[in-house]
Structure 1
Amino acid sequence: MAATAANDPRSTLRGGLPDRYLTPEDIAALLSVPLETVYAWRKKRTGPPGFRIGKHLRYDPAAVRTWVDSLSADNAA
């Protein structure tokens, strides 16, 4: 399913990530992985750290960037 420019999280990028908290769908779109992978990462505690606002799961863009950077550093070593 292709995302339109209006709801594509990559369309609001500034400094690489949007200026708002990210949803699991945003993470999947930004990293080009299936949504199920994002939930599997959460269950295994291997993905970016998320938090709940009521029943809604959200991710801090800065924490996502740190997580991605840590993966890059691990692969470079």
Structure 2
Amino acid sequence: MAPTFAPRLTETQAAEFLNLSKKTLQAWRQSGEGPPYLKLGRAVRYEADAIRDWVKERERHSTSDRGRAA
């Protein structure tokens, strides 16, 4: 049985999914702040599940919530 992979998004698709600009994602990749990504040759891809997990980790219920912010 062949392995199955989660859907991979292009940089444009990931930016749209997160309602961000591509420039923001690019800056986050350089600083290590953004969601995990894959480099496949020169192409950058984001796994949809990894983006969802990354967003969920940043969920806050109050301004006084502590923890790692984006």
Unaligned runs of 5+ in 1: 1-18
TM-score, with structure 1 as normaliser: 0.67
Q: Number of matched residues? A: 57
Q: 2:25 matched to 1:38? A: yes
The residue correspondences of 1:6-25 to structure 2 (distance < 5 A) are: 20-25=7-12
Deviation at 1:48, TM superposition (A): 0.4
The aligned counterpart of 2:3 is none
Q: How do residues 1-77 of structure 1 correspond to structure 2 at under 5 angstroms? A: 20-72=7-59, 75-76=60-61, 77=65
Name the SS of the counterpart of 1:58 in structure 2: strand
Q: Is there any run of 5+ residues in structure 2 with no aligned partner, and where? A: 1-5, 66-70
Larger deviation, residues 19-28 vs 36-45: 19-28
Match for 2:48: what amino acid?
A: P
Structure number with larger C-alpha Rg: 2
- The aligned amino acid for 1:67 is W
Q: Structure 2 length normalisation: TM-score? A: 0.73
**What is the percent sequence identity of the aligned residues?**
32
**Runs of 4+, deviation exceeding 6 Å:** none
Higher helix share: 1
